[in-house]
Amino acid sequence: MRTTNSCDSLQPRYARLGYVAINVLDLDRSAAFYEQLWGLQSNGGIDDQARFFRCSDNHHDLILFKGEPGLKRVSWQMESEDDIDRIVQRLQSRGHAVVEVNSAETKLLRQGRSVRFADPYTGATHEFFASIEQEATSWTPTLAQIQRIGHIVLKTPNFHEAVEFYDNVLNFRTSDAIGDIVNFMRCFPNPFHHSIGLSRSDSHGLHHLNFMVSEIDDIGRALWRFKKNDIPIVRGPGRHPPSGSVFLYVLDPNGITVEYSFGMEEFPENEARDHRVLPAAPESIDYWGGPTDIRLGKVGMVEPLA
C-alpha cells in the first residue's frame, strides 16, 4: 500500500534508467566484449580507470570501471531539475544522507547536477540527474538492434523493506511480483514493465543487467554468436510471464550476468492495471521451461558509496 506524507505532495518523476556503472577486472577484455560481441558503441573513457559505452543518443548508458566485478552504481535520469530536488527532499526528510557530486566529476560524466545516496536495503549507490550531453550523431545499432538499457535486478536480504522503500519513497510502482521472492518495479511514469527488479536473497548483490532489443531475430542471432565465441549462456532463450519478454542471459568476461530481451508490456501513466502476484514456481520465470545454469546471477558484489 502506498503512503504519502503531506510534504510529499509533489512526487519525483523519472524519464528513464539513465545508466549503470559496473566494476570489471580487465577493462580491455570487458570493453572488447561489450563492443564486439554485445553491440554497444565505445565512447571514450577516463584515463585507465573507466570506459564509456552508449546505446542511445546520450553520452553513455554503461560505464566500465576497474575493480572487483559487480555494481558500482545505478543512475536515474529525472524529468527535470525540480525532480532532483523532490527526490532529495524525500530522502533527507527520512534521514538519508544525500551527496552532491562535485562539478569536476559531473564534467567528466558529461552530466548536469547529480546527487547520490546509499540505499540501506540493497546496499546500492543510486544517482539522480536530469541532463546529460547528447551526441552529435544519432545512435545507430550495428551488431544487435539495441534500443536502450532496460533494467537492473538487485539481490537483497531486506526484500520487503526494499519493496516498501522503492514504492513509498523513491516513487517506483510495482508492475508484478513472483510470490514474495521477486518484485518488478517501474520508475514512474516510465511506461516499461520494470526498470528494476528486487530479488530476495541471503546477501546483497547484482543479479543481472538488461538491454532491450527491437527484433526477436536479435535473440536468435545472439544465441549462435555467443555459442561460436564460447560465451556461457546461462538461461534461455525463453519468455518471462510477468513482462512477456523473450530473453537470453549470458555471462560477461567477469561472470556478471547480462540479458538481451525483446518485447515488454508498457503501462499508461494513469489507470494502469493492478499488479499481479504470480506463484513462486519455475513456470512464473519462463513459459518455455528451459534449464537455468547455476552461475546465473552469482557474480556481482555491490560497491558501497564512498
User: Which of 300, 213, 286 has the alpha carbon at shortest distance from 39?
Assistant: 213
Identify the pLDDT of residue 4. Answer: 43
Identify the pLDDT of residue 6. Answer: 37
Given a cut of 90, whether residue 2 has pLDDT beyond it is no
Q: Give the Cα separation of 144 and 219 in Å (integer).
A: 9
Q: Give the Cα separation of 73 and 55 in Å (integer).
A: 18
What number is the average pLDDT over the span 254-278? 97
Q: Give the Cα separation of 233 and 278 in Å (integer).
A: 26
What number is the average pLDDT over the span 106-129? 97
pLDDT in tens, 23-40: 999 999 999 999 999 999
pTM value is 0.95
The residue type found at 46 is: I
β partners of residue 111: 132
3-state percent helix, strand, coil for the chain, nearest multiple of 5: 20, 40, 40
Cβ proximity of 30 and 69 under 8 Å? no
Quick count: other Cβ atoms within 10 Å of Cβ 191?
13
Cβ proximity of 16 and 10 under 8 Å? no
Q: Give the Cα separation of 143 and 245 in Å (integer).
A: 20
What number is the average pLDDT over the span 173-194? 98
Q: Give the Cα separation of 87 and 12 in Å (integer).
A: 6
